[in-house]
Chains A and B, each alone.
Chain A
Amino acid sequence: GQNIDQPTEMTATEGAIVQINCTYQTSGFNGLFWYQQHAGEAPTFLSYNVLDGLEEKGRFSSFLSRSKGYSYLLLKELQMKDSASYLCAVTDKLIFGTGTRLQVFP
């Protein structure tokens, strides 16, 4: 079976750092995606991790530990526009977690 867990909601302050965790148990695994979804819009791609370790892309970084079935998305220097849902998804079939709704306050 497939099981992907994320916290439902998180809040943070503008300029701060926030870490969104994702744990997974899947029968097949090739890699893990992170997507961002603003309310009423389609998801957009943020990152893809295949190997263990940290991938950095500007203010966003993503980490993967395959042995622990664990990933996190790190958002630095938070801005108001980062208020959105963040979805982790596991391949080979692209199965999504329920998403984490992040609210950034001034």
Chain B
Amino acid sequence: NAGVTQTPKFQVLKTGQSMTLQCAQDMNHEYMSWYRQDPGMGLRLIHYSVGAGITDQGEVPNGYNVSRSTTEDFPLRLLSAAPSQTSVYFCASSRSGNQPQHFGDGTRLSIL
């Protein structure tokens, strides 16, 4: 099993560009989430989903969109990239919100 797969691993964008960070899991997990991690800030929850067709906002949702059309995939869209969105992004999945989360390897995103 691949677990949680994030692509790309690295990306550089210009301010104002849009892009989609991909996340896929092959464990049939219902719960998926996106975090960003900045130095000294820990992991901050952006959006999460408790199942296909259901998404909700986390702590820092502004500037990001998500959708969950299938159980396996949970893409994160940056609508108009800003330098403040430079960060490491982690996707995670679990059977439920009260089960251990499995994390992807992260996407390192730089906005110039």
User: Residues of A at under 8 Å CB distance from B?
Assistant: 2, 8, 30-31, 33, 41-45, 48, 50, 87, 89, 91-99
A41 contact set on B, CB distance < 8 A = 105
Decide: A43 near B90, CB < 8 A? Known: A87-B43, A94-B45. yes
Max chain B C-beta neighbours (<10 A), residue from A8, A48, A94: A94
User: Residues of B at under 8 Å CB distance from A?
Assistant: 33, 35, 40-45, 48, 58-59, 90, 92, 97-98, 100-106
B41 contact set on A, CB distance < 8 A = 98
List 23 contacting pairs A-B, 8 Å CB cutoff, sorted by A: A2-B59, A30-B98, A33-B101, A42-B104, A42-B105, A42-B106, A43-B43, A43-B90, A44-B103, A45-B101, A45-B102, A91-B98, A93-B58, A94-B97, A94-B101, A96-B35, A96-B42, A96-B43, A96-B44, A96-B45, A97-B42, A98-B41, A99-B42
| Shortest distance between the CB of B59 and any CB in chain A (Å) | 7
- Whether B42 pairs with A98 at a CB distance below 8 angstroms is yes
Closest to B41 in A: A98
- Whether A87 pairs with B42 at a CB distance below 8 angstroms is yes
- Whether B35 pairs with A45 at a CB distance below 8 angstroms is no
Give Cα A30 to B98, complex, Å.
7
B100 contact set on A, CB distance < 8 A = 33, 45, 48
- Whether A42 pairs with B90 at a CB distance below 8 angstroms is yes
A91 contact set on B, CB distance < 8 A = 97-98
| Shortest distance between the CB of B15 and any CB in chain A (Å) | 26
| Shortest distance between the CB of B27 and any CB in chain A (Å) | 14
Give Cα A31 to B48, complex, Å.
18
Residue in B45, B103, B106 whose beta carbon sits within 8 Å of that of A95 in the complex: B45
| Shortest distance between the CB of A66 and any CB in chain B (Å) | 14
Give Cα A2 to B43, complex, Å.
14
Give Cα A30 to B40, complex, Å.
26
A30 contact set on B, CB distance < 8 A = 97-98
